[in-house]
Amino acid sequence: MWHERASTSWHGPGRRGHGAGSGLGRVIAERLALAGHVVYAGMRSVASRSADHAATARRFATTHGVALVPLELDVLSETGCRAAVDQVLSEQGRVDVLVNNAGMLMSGVAEAFTTEQFLTILDTNAVSWLRTARAMLPVMRRQGAGTLVYVSSTTAHVVEPFMATYIASKAAGEAFAESIGFEVTQLGIDTVIVVPGAFTQGTEHFAHTTAPAEPAVTAQYGDLAAAVAQIPQRLEAIDIAHQGRTADVASVGDALVEVLGQPRGSRPRRVVVDAQRKGVEDIDAIRAERQRTFFTALGIDHLLDLPPSPEQHHQTISDTTTMEAHVPDPLHQLVETFYRAFSGETDLLDEVVTPDWEDIPLGPGQGPGPDGVKPMINGIGQSFTDFHIVVHDVIDGRGDDGNGSIGVRAEMRGTHTGDMFGIAGTGRTVSILIHEFHIVQDGRLARTWHLEDWFGFFNQVGHAPSIGQDDQ
């Protein structure tokens, strides 16, 4: 499904973190929506814990006539991240931008934090970015375009005391974002790292900060520890000295909207929004120069920039997601349409296969050609609620004329609610791996060899057959 400007932005919260429901994440989501993007605002427990935030997002959408949709998303769960991506794909057909904004704050004397607390903030502020990337990158690879946005912090560049665990998590996250960003440039995927300064108002960051678990250790630091409580007031004083008022969190959303409006390949890798003027831009300029020199010596300087692309049109999706996509590759369109047909839109099958298309092997009772498989597709739809197929990889082995073989690695997903292979509905969510090979002939699929992991299905619904054992 195509939109002139479709954007999906997720802000996925973890533990005491903030997502698109509040603070910085909420402002980014609203600004993107007002700019014309279709925004999916990720938040944890939409129906319970985040119900108020979800209601606020819906009211904003109604009041302003924009597309801002609450999305169930827990960035501490890899399964949850993939489910969120699947929902957006099923409703929009693609995802163009991912905005990683999930985060939590810890402040206090470093020694007083436990290792468990440190691992918690690392999981939320850094490891979660790997989870969202693993869920999103297969989609962007197929699209041949996309933008990964990460919200970092100036403290990852200009280190301060009393925030050691937070700063370490942000530095780890930003290093991950930049490194993986180099790896995906040649796939047409852009990376933007937003580097905000501190905001004492308009966010829940300071109000929800996590204190050290061992205050007895903090007490041994004497008056030094009391300086922590004075930081917000001193930050406000710096802001007022520089610009006559406290920093406005909306400036981050506005900066991101502006950057995403720029053509692919011309966007800065980092966007600094810092009312305290710590000089991160100067540090970044030196780093960028040294990186290019070193990458050139290594022979990998091409990874610093996106490759030339065909004419583009813009499309965006938001929570932690906003992206821009070029005209889809015909092969990927062919594959996506084929598997949409098998996800229930059976009429699409006639658009992508030849009239004498062969499906090998035929299933029980399946007739030949596209008409022969349609009843089977409908039957699967009756056995699984929310049945859909997610394509992970396409291997292109065609010749210069566009004809030849391709390989596809995909996954069937759904909730087992009806009879399948004589097994009554179990209500379990299942994932069934698929490996298929197709022959492409003049822009259509002429032959398909398919292999599904039905043994995995039996395991997931609790009906795995016994092997090598005599019936008793």
For 28, 44, 54, the CA distances from 48, given in Å and listed in that order, are 23, 9, 10
For 279, 440, 446, the CA distances from 351, given in Å and listed in that order, are 56, 13, 12
**Phi and psi for 416 in degrees, rounded to 5?**
-75, 100
The SS3 of residue 287 is helix
Instruction: Go through 21-30 and write b for each residue having 16 or more CB atoms within 10 A of its CB, e for each that does not.
Output: bbbbbbbbbb
Residue pair 165/110 in contact (Cβ under 8 Å)? The answer is yes
* Residue written as token pair 């489910």: 83
Instruction: Go through 199-229 and write b for each residue having 16 or more CB atoms within 10 A of its CB, e for each that does not.
Output: bbebbbbeeebbebeeeebbeebeeebeebe
Q: Is 36 left (phi over 0), alpha (psi -120 to 50) or beta?
A: left
Output the six-digit token pair for 289.
């120069």
Nearest to 40 by CA among 22, 59, 21: 21
Q: What number of helices (H) and strands (E) belong to the chain?
A: 14, 15
Nearest-angstrom CA–CA distance, 179 and 172: 11
CA atoms within 13 A on the CB side of 223: 0
Residue pair 348/35 in contact (Cβ under 8 Å)? The answer is no
Nearest-angstrom CA–CA distance, 174 and 192: 10
Nearest-angstrom CA–CA distance, 390 and 339: 8
What are the catalytic residues?
166
Beta bridge partners of 396: 406
> Which pairs from 174-180 meet CB under 8 Å and 24+ separation?
174/150, 176/126, 176/129, 176/130, 177/100, 177/129, 177/148, 177/150, 177/152, 178/269, 180/133, 180/148
Q: What is the DSSP secondary structure assignment for residue 183, as one 8-state letter?
A: H
